[in-house]
Structure 1
Amino acid sequence: MASENEWRAAMDPLRPPVYVCLRRKPSSDGKLHRLALDGRLDKPEWDHVPWSEPFVDIEGPARKPAEHPLTRFKMMHDDSHLYVGAELVEPKIWGTIRTKNATMYHENDFEVFLDPDGSRHNYYELELNCLNTIWELLLHKPYKDGHAIENPYNLPGLRTAVFVDGVTNSPQSACTKWTVEAEFALPDLVQFDAMRRRTATAGDVWRVNFSRVQYALETVVDADTSELRYEKVPDRREDNIVWAPTGVVDIHRPEKWGFVFFSSQQELPGGEAELESAMAEFLREQIAMERVLDTIYYDQRAFCQRHGGFASAWEQLYPDPAAFPHADLLAQFELSAPTISCQSELGETSRVCFGGTRTPSSSAASTPRDGAVDSHGTPRRRLYVPALDLDDEDAEDPALSVLSPRSRDIRRREAAGVFRTFTASVRSTTQQWNIEHDA
């Protein structure tokens, strides 16, 4: 439909930004002391750490070229911790939520999203406001994939601090900004890295995003105290200001989040040199492979909406082979033809190559159950979802599988090449990436 096509056209040009996370410098005595968190980023420990690019609207600058207040972040790491600093320029600093793990995004806040293994599932979210009230969550799946959330999900080693340059909740006072410091214990984050299962080290790449939820405020007179206070402008949507735009008002699109590269260097020139080496060695190729798989993922989701399941044959998804939009990336990076495989709900698997045909494998489910024989001693084959009686005394033709109504519906749909799960894969000479999805 047109709206989907318009969004895809706006989303596809969005390229995830890349940030170099430098190592923290030791103090003048050569030691790394525990960072004194006070929310300020103008202390010596942060001096060598570069700022990110200013945040943009979540829909992307092309789709929504809005002017937003300056928002940016810094990151650094050492052997035991990951540090995040953020600056949010704002003349009206407002927040009322003081209860830990209360829903935060109904007021102005700053949000951190960490996906260490880049799986796009099992990622961590932190939200906090200008009062240093925090809310932590674990998302096993993002909302668009049938979300599964643990709320709250508090990390034992997290420390945060906020500094307000001005006076919070005071229309009479001049304010300029509020700044955030967050310290994550690296062992706390290993649980989100199913691929490496270790703490972050130099050379690692994480998928990360940051978001600022910002409401337009007006000054009103409090009816009870007769004092001035802020409240949200009625009937005005919040602004979502992010580091890596997703193309739609939904921050939970991990495939569009930025890349954070962990450097062994303490100065930016050295860190950028390491990043360029990683880009040449694997990261540029990885980004291309993810773009190929992302296209298949979104096209499969659109196919599923129309047909109630995923395509199992390439020609179903792309009737015109020339219509696949990233054939240039396959050629540029000498990638394999992408493959699609589907797992039947009845135990059968089909596999299809780029431009190829679907070839069903033999079904393990056709193996007869122990002891299931007819009166002549011939094994009976059955495929039950759910299972029927054990011996099928009343079966008219014991040689045929007896299918439940649900099994017949599944068989009918899958005979048309429409399945409820799929896996897409693409390979290079050095790496392979897969994307899996179920309906």
Structure 2
Amino acid sequence: MGIRILFALVPILLFGNILPAQTLSQIKNMKTTPSCYGAVKISTPIQIDGLAAETAWDLAAWTDEFVDIEGAVQPAPKYSTKVKMLWDEAYLYVYARMEEPHVWGRLTQRDTIIYHDNDFEVFIKPFEQQSFYYEIEVNPLNTILDLMMPKPYRFGGDALMHWDVKGLKSAIHVEGTLNNPDDTDQYWSVEMAIPFSALSTYSSKATPNINDYWRINFSRVQWQHDVSEGIYTRKTANGKLLPEDNWVWSAIGVVNMHYPERWGFVKFVEEAEVVGLPKAHAAEKMAWNIFYLQQLYKQEHKRFADNIEELEEGRHLLTKDADDLRCEIFINSYKAGYVLEVKDLENHFTVILDNFGHYRINYE
């Protein structure tokens, strides 16, 4: 069955919008398929020392090499970055290896802005229905920044810096010499054990079951550097810092990690397997693409579109998203707010998304 688009005028009390629209070219960049990974369950202990020397790590495949955050429209990263994942009843284990001829870091105080150094970042969204997610950053000195986001910044979210990953274990290994500009290093690696108990809420346990999917992504921030009197610093030109590189596992399409709907997926498996996208992905992708196009339309017309034909500038981006979907937009009489429903007729669920980015899935 093809895509059917239905519209209805209803007095929904949703007004305004709080985020800028993407450009059409950015929306095109944001149509890449998210990366997927199968994390194998283990029963043997992992020593967190930055080395990943345990035989259990042999069960874990490497991810694909990291790409630029904007995807293929930008050059491939200069240095290799890749990740492995495992899990047991208590922890999600992450091991990242980053090729680097100059391993350096300066920041030593927890919860400072760690990406002002070269760093490695983990983004985790354990619960499908809730908007909140977690971020962990670490530099080559093993200095941690961890925070919880109630919702993305573009929807009015604000980082809760007082939140900590209680029980987090992390370690760094440097194949070379940290903060020594006189030699050439090979890589630095991060090993983490992220406790599920720290990600749980009062009413929801984060410990996954076999075949559960979580949203997850990884980012590497890389600065150009100078050396003065043996000290590394971020490179400047005309008194301004040169922009950093942002290399990620699953491309976002824009220079902003805080698009959880654009992250990759980890599937918690018992044995190694080839992992595909979850069943809800096609409907979710359709909903967000309509959302992005509505933002673009409102930027120009100061209102949301009444029907999909009005989104003609980017309508072609929707035509091949999926079959067996039925989309309905319920828009208020002021055309200042809407609720979008994308129904998957084959798998019997509905993705619901409004103009404020509130998102949920209703299963029949």
TM-score range, shorter chain: 0.7 to 0.9
Map of 2:124 onto structure 1: 114
- Out of 230, 233, 244, which is 2:232 matched to? 230
- Out of 27, 30, 39, which is 1:11 matched to? 30
Q: Distance in 1 between matches of 2:122 and 2:217?
A: 6
Q: Deviations over 1:17-42 (max 9, x none)?
A: 11111112x4xxxxx34x22111123
> Does the alignment pair 1:323 with 2:315?
yes
Give secondary structure in 1 for the equivalent of 2:154: helix
Shift of residue 10, structure 1, vs aligned partner: 2.7
Shift of residue 197, structure 1, vs aligned partner: 4.5
CA 1:318–1:173: 2 relative to 1, 3 Å: closer
Map of 1:403 onto structure 2: none
Shift of residue 155, structure 1, vs aligned partner: 1.7
Map of 1:220 onto structure 2: 228
Map of 2:330 onto structure 1: 341
> Does the alignment pair 1:259 with 2:261?
no
For 1:81-96, list aligned pairs within 5 A.
81-96=91-106
Matched-pair contact (CA < 8 Å) for 1:169–1:229: yes
Q: Deviations over 1:25-71 (max 9, x none)?
A: x4xxxxx34x221111233231221110110111102x102342111
CA 1:153–1:421: 2 relative to 1, 3 Å: farther
User: Quick one: which amino acid aligns to residue 255 of structure 2?
Assistant: V
- Out of 286, 297, 301, which is 2:295 matched to? 301
Matched-pair contact (CA < 8 Å) for 1:87–1:177: yes
Q: Distance in 1 between matches of 2:205 and 2:119?
A: 31
Q: Deviations over 1:140-195 (max 9, x none)?
A: 11122222221132021211111111221111233111111111111222339x8x
Runs of 5+ unmatched residues, structure 2: 1-20, 358-364
Map of 1:142 onto structure 2: 152
Q: Deviations over 1:234-272 (max 9, x none)?
A: 14210001001111111111121101111011xx3xx22
Judging by fraction of residues, say which structure has more strand. 2
Q: Percent identity?
A: 30
For 1:202-213, list aligned pairs within 5 A.
202-213=210-221
Matched-pair contact (CA < 8 Å) for 1:157–1:184: yes
Map of 2:354 onto structure 1: 436
- Out of 31, 48, 54, which is 1:37 matched to? 48
Q: Distance in 1 between matches of 2:121 and 2:22?
A: 28
The structure, 1 or 2, with the larger RCO (C-alpha pairs under 8 Å, 6+ apart) is 2
After TM superposition, which residue ranges in structure 1, 4 or more long, deviate above 6 angstroms? none
Shift of residue 304, structure 1, vs aligned partner: 3.3
Q: Distance in 2 between matches of 1:232 and 1:341?
A: 50
Give secondary structure in 1 for the equivalent of 2:200: helix
Judging by fraction of residues, say which structure has more helix. 1
- Out of 62, 79, 87, which is 1:69 matched to? 79
Q: Distance in 2 between matches of 1:421 and 1:15?
A: 27
- Out of 282, 289, 303, which is 2:283 matched to? 289
User: Quick one: which amino acid aligns to residue 284 of structure 2?
Assistant: E
Q: Deviations over 1:359-412 (max 9, x none)?
A: xxxxxxxxxxxxxxxxxxxxxxxxxxxxxxxxxxxxxxxxxxxxxxxxxxxxxx
Map of 2:41 onto structure 1: 23
Map of 1:186 onto structure 2: 196
Pick the structure with greater CA Rg. Answer: 1
Q: Distance in 1 between matches of 2:77 and 2:322?
A: 37
Q: Deviations over 1:214-243 (max 9, x none)?
A: 00112222xxxxxx1211111421000100
Map of 1:47 onto structure 2: 58
Map of 1:101 onto structure 2: 111
CA 1:429–1:295: 2 relative to 1, 3 Å: same
Matched-pair contact (CA < 8 Å) for 2:127–2:206: no
Matched-pair contact (CA < 8 Å) for 2:126–2:206: no
RMSD of Structure 2 on Structure 1 (CA) = 2.6
Runs of 5+ unmatched residues, structure 1: 27-31, 222-227, 343-349, 351-413
Q: How many equivalent residue pairs?
A: 333
Map of 1:383 onto structure 2: none
Q: Distance in 2 between matches of 1:134 and 1:203?
A: 30
Give secondary structure in 2 for the equivalent of 1:73: strand
